[in-house]
Structure 1
Amino acid sequence: MKKNTLEYEQALDTVVEILQNRARGGAAPLSYGELSTELAGRGHQVPSYEGPMPYLLEDASVRESPDGSLPLLSALVVLRETGRPSGGFFKLARRAPYKRPGDDMELWVEEIKQLAKHYADR
């Protein structure tokens, strides 16, 4: 699956939908493997740790918050081993226009809170 193809865009739409639904349900994180399994169940073969997954997660966040004003959906996807997002999430959260403050844990906890709040009534 390559970026800027119909297949990628359809998978991206599905990632956004899955993560928005998760945020609406209280913003409980899910692992990369769980997301990969959900995607496969919807017809998108996206390995959990390679290929397009990191790009899909970044693009899901950017699509939903291009100006940095909304919480980042990719905060919901965590490493099974640590229960926290990968380094890619923190790099995205700290670059412009997002520039989220705090150490990694503070930043992530706040993002999860904001996701739950933002999507509670949607």
Structure 2
Amino acid sequence: MQKGTLEYEQALDAVIEILRSRARQGAAPLSYGDLSRELARVGHHVPAYEGPMPYLLEDASVRESPDGSLPLLSALVVLQDSGRPSGGFFKLARRAPYKRSGDDTLLWVREIEKLAEHYGGR
């Protein structure tokens, strides 16, 4: 699956819908493996830890909040072992236009809270 192809764009749409739905239901995080299985259920075979997954997560956040005003959807996807997002999430959150601050834990907790608030009741 190559970025910019129809297959990638369709998988990206599916990632966004899965993460929006998760945010609407209280913003409980899910593992990379869980997201991979959810994507497979809707016809997109994306391995949990390789290939396009990191790009799909970054692009989901960027598409949903291109100007940095909305919470980052990728905050919902965590590593199975640690229960926290990967380093890629924190790099994205700290770069322009997002420029989130605080230590990793505080930044992530705030983002989850903002997701639940923004998507709750939608």
With the length of structure 2 as denominator, give the TM-score of the two structures.
1.00
Q: Which runs of 5+ in 2 are unaligned?
A: none
Provide Cα deviations, 1:31-69, integer angstroms capped at 9, x if missing partner.
Answer: 000000000010000000000000000000000000000
The letter for the 1-side match of 2:12 is L
The letter for the 1-side match of 2:99 is K
| CA-CA distance at 1:121 after TM superposition | 2.2
Q: State percent identity of aligned pairs.
A: 80
1:55 alignment counterpart: 55
Q: Which runs of 5+ in 1 are unaligned?
A: none
Give the ranges of 4+ consecutive aligned residues of structure 1 lying more than 2 Å apart after TM superposition.
Answer: none
2:76 alignment counterpart: 76
Q: Give me the CA root mean square deviation.
A: 0.3
Within 5 A, what are the aligned runs for 1:1-122? 1-122=1-122
State the distance in 2 between where 1:41 and 1:79 align: 20
Q: Secondary structure of 1:12's match?
A: helix
The alignment of Structure 1 onto Structure 2 pairs a total of residues equal to 122
Q: Secondary structure of 1:36's match?
A: helix
